[in-house]
Amino acid sequence: MTETTSPLTRRVLAPNAGPMTLDGTNSYLIGADPVEMGVVVVDPGPDDEAHLEALAADAVALILITHHHADHVDGVRAFAELTGAPVRAVDPAWCIGAEPLRDGEIIEGGGAQIHVLLTPGHTADSACFLLPDDGPNGSVLTGDTVLGRGTSIIADPDGALGAYLDTLRRLRDLGPATVLPGHGPSLPDLVAICDAYLAHRAERLDEVRAALESLGADASPASVTDIVYAETDAAVRPAAEASVRAQLAYLRAEE
């Protein structure tokens, strides 16, 4: 089902709900006038025929990728073949018939201006897309950098906490834009969610510091995870441990 998410965007929810994907991956259609100008698709999602066909209902001019995780890109090659549209991503390995994304560039597509922001942290190749003309405060498609529910993981060793904190501050400086996340519902205020994420990260770092005081400075990520994420569901334990590795790397780099 296609859902209107802002004046310039629509969302198609992929059928891949799970502990790490929440309700499923949000694939977005950007288009001021889809019939006349076509659309830009952000994150085709899984290689699911019905989902990809729903995204291809309008003429697709361009495919953009927020990052390389499978739930966002497994269907990209099939979708590119289906639509004939080029694919652009930060990582050249995911580009088809086009150049990699560049920080600060402006893409004209679907009758909209799409500003590219390279936003490493969740992964090294994470990108967000600012639509400054999308409603009174604009909107930002955030991929997994900011989620509609809960908080994002840092996918160590690909991601890095220092870069992620810098990314959150950069996004916050964009003002109270609408957040169009890769998973979960849209959010009304980018500033508020970035402030909440930064506060959450500061609290987690304090918890990791306390765990190290108890376990010793050379404690393993697994033992720190046992304390800091003691109540975490087993299904997301690997993600919690990846986040702890990133937190430990960040703290040890400060020493």
pLDDT at res. 232: 79
Q: One-letter amino acid identity for 201?
A: R
pLDDT at res. 233: 78
pLDDT band, residue 32 (cuts 50/70/90)? confident
Report yes or no: 154 and 166 within 8 Å, Cβ to Cβ.
no
Distance CA 214, CA 240 (A): 19
Q: Residues 185-243: pLDDT tens digits?
A: 999 999 999 999 999 999 999 999 999 998 988 888 889 998 988 877 777 888 888 88
pLDDT at 254 over 80: no
| Mean pLDDT across 40-45 | 98
pLDDT at res. 19: 84
Give pairs for 27-33: CB < 8 Å, separation 24+. 27/51, 27/55, 28/141, 28/180, 29/2, 29/55, 29/58, 29/110, 30/109, 30/110, 30/112, 30/114, 30/129, 30/131, 31/58, 31/110, 31/111, 31/112, 32/8, 32/110, 32/111, 32/112, 33/110, 33/111
Q: Residues 123-151: pLDDT tens digits?
A: 999 999 999 999 999 999 999 999 999 99
- Detail the DSSP E strand segments found in 65-167: 87-88, 106-109, 112-118, 127-131, 139-143
pLDDT at res. 157: 87
pLDDT at res. 127: 98
Q: Residues 83-102: pLDDT tens digits?
A: 999 999 999 999 999 999 99
Distance CA 26, CA 185 (A): 9
pLDDT at res. 217: 84
Report yes or no: 91 and 68 within 8 Å, Cβ to Cβ.
yes
pLDDT at res. 231: 77
Distance CA 129, CA 246 (A): 25
pLDDT at res. 255: 63
Q: Which residue, among 93, 100, 143, has the nearest Cα to 120 in the 3D structure?
A: 143
Supply the mean pLDDT for the chain.
94
Q: Which residue has the tokens 């050249």?
A: 92
SS3 250: helix
Cβ-in-10-Å burial (0-12, 13-18, 19+) of 95 comes to middle
Q: Which two tokens stand for residue 182?
A: 């890769």
pLDDT at res. 148: 96
- Please state which of the ranges 20-29, 103-112, 171-180, 214-223 shows the lowest mean pLDDT: 214-223
Question: For every residue of 225-238, which 3-state class applies, written as one string?
Answer: HHHHCCCCCHHHHH
Distance CA 136, CA 125 (A): 29
Q: One-letter amino acid identity for 226?
A: D
